[in-house]
Structure 1
Amino acid sequence: MTKTDPYQPTDDAARALARDLIIGATHAALAVLWPGNAMPSVSRIALAVDDQNRPISLISTLADHTRALHANPACALLIGEPKDTGDPLTHPRLTLHTLAQPIARGSSEHDALRSIYLSQRPKAKLYIDFADFGFVRFDVQDGVLNGGFGKAYRLSPANL
């Protein structure tokens, strides 16, 4: 009989790799659905983590992906970049299925995220206070970790 389920049982090594990918990410591919259309769109965004290691970003209201997130907060993040050498498909990557939660400017959470974000992305000081920029926290619903050939895992929020 052939095995049709490609996923391995989640173990501590998979959980640690997923957490390392999230914490170490400086950017991610963000997949959204266009409002009123089932067509997906992908953008590259800067990424950081809050004080609970949840993914956050600073995004502009001028960006199409921001308008898409306001219409439908369901989205996905792809984290992990191939190295300079070797087959890109052998390098770890993590897809997070998330719900985007905009953080209100002027709230205490916004102020806390501003400090956290600048500590991780100091160059953002150039535009962090522009009126069209705001924070979004990505509430992870689940994830799929591909740690390389034969190392695929489905992850619950508790695993992350």
Structure 2
Amino acid sequence: MTERRTDPIRPTDEDARGLARGLIDAARHAALGVIDPETGAPMVTRIALVPGPDGVPLSLVSSLSAHTAALAANPACSLLVGEPGPRGDPLTHPRLTLQARAEPADKAALKAHVLGLQPKATLYYDFGDFSLVRFVPVAGHLNGGFGKAYRLSPADLVP
């Protein structure tokens, strides 16, 4: 008897796009995955995050941090957004993994936007070691809850 495997990935639809965009819009922090340039090993850290005016995620990063050096060496990265709810299994709550490319953003031009969404960043926004980074989506992997997996294109991820 031949076992039949079915693809667990659902066709991307407007509900999936809306959920993914909603997770990006609501995110005020994310797990950032980079490759350590010294060891070649993956490294994950938590960063503050806001959606940019164009829907592309933004973060202030310090040149003193290991993840900033890693992004300078290799701008390919990954972000995980989405929080478990207050009850139930955390794996049943929606989350989005973004594969992205880190690019410099105009820190001065986006100051009011970023601080409007992350007011606590006022304390360090103008420090010289901080720069603003855009995480331009390359691909997305949405887990909308049990049995709700989707692959998303860059066009699916930003309005």
Using structure 2 for the length normalisation, give the TM-score. Answer: 0.94
Unaligned runs of 5+ in 1: 104-108
Secondary structure at 1:123 match in 2: helix
Map 1:65-76; keep pairs closer than 5 Å: 65-76=67-78
User: 1:3 offset after TM fit, Å?
Assistant: 2.8
Secondary structure at 2:136 match in 1: strand
Range moving further from structure 2, 111-120 or 71-80 = 111-120
User: 1:84 offset after TM fit, Å?
Assistant: 1.8
Aligned with 2:95 (options 81, 88, 93) = 93
What does residue 56 of structure 1 align with?
Answer: 58
Secondary structure at 2:10 match in 1: coil
Secondary structure at 2:146 match in 1: coil
Aligned with 1:134 (options 127, 131, 135) = 131
User: 1:34 offset after TM fit, Å?
Assistant: 0.3
What does residue 158 of structure 1 align with?
Answer: 155
Aligned with 1:12 (options 11, 14, 17) = 14
Q: 1:88 to 1:133 in 2, by over 3 A?
A: same
User: 1:49 offset after TM fit, Å?
Assistant: 1.3
User: 1:145 offset after TM fit, Å?
Assistant: 0.1
User: 1:5 offset after TM fit, Å?
Assistant: 1.9
Cα deviation 1:101-143 (Å, max 9, x = unaligned): 123xxxxx32221111001001110110011111000010010
Distance in 1 between residues matched to 2:114 and 2:4, nearest whole Å? 47
Distance in 2 between residues matched to 1:20 and 1:102, nearest whole Å? 24
Unaligned runs of 5+ in 2: none
Cα deviation 1:16-62 (Å, max 9, x = unaligned): 00000000001000000000432100000000011101100001110
Secondary structure at 1:149 match in 2: coil
Map 1:111-122; keep pairs closer than 5 Å: 111-122=108-119
Q: Which amino acid aligns with 2:53?
A: D
Secondary structure at 1:83 match in 2: coil
Distance in 1 between residues matched to 2:51 and 2:86, nearest whole Å? 25
Q: Which amino acid aligns with 1:124?
A: A
What does residue 106 of structure 1 align with?
Answer: none
Q: Percent of counterpart pairs with the same letter?
A: 57
Distance in 2 between residues matched to 1:35 and 1:4, nearest whole Å? 38
Using structure 1 for the length normalisation, give the TM-score. Answer: 0.94
Secondary structure at 2:121 match in 1: helix
How many residues were matched structurally? 155
